[in-house]
Amino acid sequence: MKAEIINPFLVSAKEILEMETGVTGIRGELSLASSKWTTQELTAIINIIGDVKGTFLIGVSIATAMELVGTMLGETIDSFSNLVISGIAEMANIIAGRALARIEELGYISDITPPMLIYGQKASISTLDRKRIQIPLKTDIGLIELSIALES
């Protein structure tokens, strides 16, 4: 995987988090996914098609998801609901769209599919033969895990 197609996802995630929630994400250590299992309670999945293809995932705990969406809406969210699910899906969608706009500037034309969400840790994710790079973003409201499996 080329850094030029990975970095736009990290930059876009940090920008959207700060713009929508005021939360600053501090990047943790990059790693290759050591298993095919999700590690967070809620994972949004966006597939990417075109010159760049693969999968972009964002994983958060339920508590972090509720806090993120509540902050975006300017209200307290007391329970996990479809509103939280929708908010996390939309955040993933916006991040992926912004990242692909940056990648298009490099000459790669791609598109995203609508987000899908998985509930529960230890769900099996196949990115076929593509390696998944894990990028943890540490925030004041919890860990946000970006996972990127792309090829160009």
pLDDT (tens digit, 9 = 90+) per residue, 44-95? 999 999 999 999 999 999 999 999 999 999 999 999 999 999 999 999 999 9
Integer Cα distance of 37 and 10 in angstroms:
21
pLDDT higher than 90, residue 33: no
**Taking the CA of residue 9 as centre, how many other CA atoms within 13 Å lie in the half-sphere pointing to its CB?**
30
Integer Cα distance of 55 and 69 in angstroms:
23
All structural domains of the chain: 3-151 (3.40.1550.10)
Mean pLDDT of the chain: 89
Segment (H or E) for 14: helix 3-21
Its pTM stands at 0.89
pLDDT higher than 70, residue 128: no
* Structure confidence by residue, pLDDT tens digits, 94-119: 999 999 999 999 999 999 999 999 88
Amino acid at 50: G
Query: In which residue are the tokens 């098609």 written?
Result: 49
